[in-house]
Chains A and B, each alone.
Chain A
Amino acid sequence: MSELILMLAGGLIAGVIAGMGIGGGAILIPFLCIFAGMDQRTAQCINLLYFIPTGIIAVIRHIKNKKIDKEMVKGMALYGLVSTAAGAFLALAIDQEWLRRLFGVFLLAVGLHELLKKDEGKDNDNARNINRGERNGTA
C-alpha cells in the first residue's frame, strides 16, 4: 500500500518539475529506486511508459499550435531510432549494478547543470510560461 502511495507521490513530483523544464526522469527514476524499492531497469521502464500518454497529449497540442519543427523531427527521429534500440539493448544486457552506476554519471551531469545554471531571467519567461502549459511533456 505504502509503495502505491509512493508511486503516486513520485509521479506528482515529476509532474511538477517537468513543467519547470528539468527532465522528469532524473527525479522519477531515482525516486522510484530509493523510496519505492524498484530495480533500475523497472524504474526506467516506468518512466518510458509514463512519457507515452503525456507526450502524445503534448504533441497533439503542439501540432495544433504549429510549434513542431518538422525538419528537426525528421532529421533526428529517424537516426535516433536506431541508436535507441542499441541503447535499450545495452541497458538490458549489462549488469543492473553497472546500469545504476552509469545512470549515476548521467544524474551527476544533469544535477550539476541545473545547480550551476543561472536563475531564469526575463529572457526565458516566455518559454517558461509556455512550458507550464505543457507540463508533463518532458521525459
Chain B
Amino acid sequence: MKVMKGGVKRAIIGVCAGFMNGLFGSGGGALVVPASRKFLGMDAHKAHASAIAIMLPMSAVSAVMYSVKTKPALIPALLVSAGGVLGGWIGAKVMTRLSGNTLRKIFAAFILAAAIKSFI
C-alpha cells in the first residue's frame, strides 16, 4: 500500500465502507477506523471521530433507500435509540477496563453464534 498516494487510499477505503454501509446497514465504521489507522496512520481518536462524520451522510442515503422497501421502522428506531442513549450512559458510567475486555469477548461470542445461525 506504500506505493499508493493518500488520496487513492482514502478513496478506496471510502468506496468499501460505503458499499458495506449500503449492503449491511452497518459496518462502515468497523472498516474505516482500523483501515485509516493502518493505511493512513491516523490516531485512534481522530480516526473514530472522522469515521462518524463519514458514516453519517452514507447512513442517511441508505436509510432513505431502505425506507421505501422495509416495514415502517420509525417507532422501533425511536425505541432502540432510547435504549441506546441509556446504554451509552450506563457504559460510560460503570464500565471498567477489565469488565470491558470480558464483555467484549461475550459479545464476540454472541456475534459468532448469530453468524453461525444465519448459515443454518
With contacts A20-B104, A29-B25, A49-B63 taken as known, whether A15 is within 8 angstroms of B77 at the C-beta atoms is no
Main secondary structure of the interface of A (DSSP, over half): helix
Shortest B99–chain A CB gap in Å is 10
Complex CA gap A95/B16 in Å reads: 22
B38-81 vs A, CB cutoff 8 Å, 1 = contact: the mask equals: 00101111111111111111111111011111110110110111
Q: What B residues does A112 contact at CB under 8 A?
A: 108, 112
Known A88-B66, A107-B118, A132-B95: A15·B18 in contact at CB below 8 Å: no
| A54 and B48 within 8 A (CB) | no
Partner of A81, one of B52, B58, B63: B58
Q: Are B83's CB and A15's CB within 8 A?
A: yes
User: B3 → chain A, closest Cβ, in Å?
Assistant: 18
Known pairs A15-B86, A29-B26; A115 contacts B54 (CB<8 A): no
12 new A-B pairs (CB below 8 Å) besides A12-B87, A72-B50? A7-B83, A8-B83, A11-B87, A15-B89, A20-B91, A30-B118, A47-B26, A67-B45, A80-B14, A101-B119, A103-B24, A107-B111
State the main secondary structure of chain B at its contact with A.
Answer: helix
Q: Which B residues touch A71, using CB under 8 A?
A: 6, 10
Question: How many of A's residues come within 8 Å of B, CB to CB?
Answer: 107
Are B53 and A59 in contact, with the CB atoms below 8 A? yes
A81 to B85, CA, bound (A): 27
Q: In the complex, what residues of A have CB within 8 A of residue B97's CB?
A: 120, 125, 128
Which residues 84-108 in B have Cβ within 8 Å of A in the complex?
Answer: 84-92, 95, 97, 100-101, 103-105, 107-108
Give the distance to chain A from B70, nearest Cβ to Cβ, in Å: 4
Q: Report yes or no: A39 in contact with B71, Cβ–Cβ below 8 A.
A: yes
A56 contacts B91, CB within 8 Å? no
Specify the chain B residue showing the minimal Cβ separation from A100: B118
In the complex with contacts A72-B50, A130-B45, A12-B86 CB distance below 8 A: yes
